[in-house]
Amino acid sequence: MKIDVSEKDPIEIGATGFKRTVQQVRTVLQTIKGSVPLNRSFGMDLSFVDQPENVAMARATANIIGEVEKQVEEVKVLSVKYKNDADSAQEGILFPIVEIEIESE
């Protein structure tokens, strides 16, 4: 399953199974670390912002893999790629596409 962070999906309250897990991964990827009251360690560390593109991509990839696998235990990240969009690249915006595997119990 590939998750494109640039695509906005509505939150489904009470989601179960596959939808629940994908929604959890999206939530981790779209939350800035330090922005959740009572759980300041939840989310993505954005300290890679304003770094050269290759450094930012490497640090973001490591952060994505670590945070997703830490916060959503049944998920294994298979790969992280970035959307190749000329407009986004000119603006310095990275849109990760995260491929995951959901491990069954």
**What are the tens digits of pLDDT across the range 50-85?**
888 889 999 999 999 999 999 999 999 999 998 877
Question: What CATH code is carried by the domain that includes residue 67?
Answer: 3.10.450.40
pLDDT at 96 over 70: yes
- Write the DSSP symbol of residue 44: B
Q: Which helix (H) or strand (E) holds 54?
A: helix 53-71
Summarize the confidence of residues 38-54 as an average pLDDT. Answer: 91
Domain count along the chain: 1
Contact 97, 80 (CB under 8 A): yes
Domain range holding 90? 2-102
Per-residue pLDDT at 7 exceeds 90: no
| pLDDT number for residue 33 | 95
CB 2 within 8 A of CB 99: yes
pTM for the model stands at 0.85
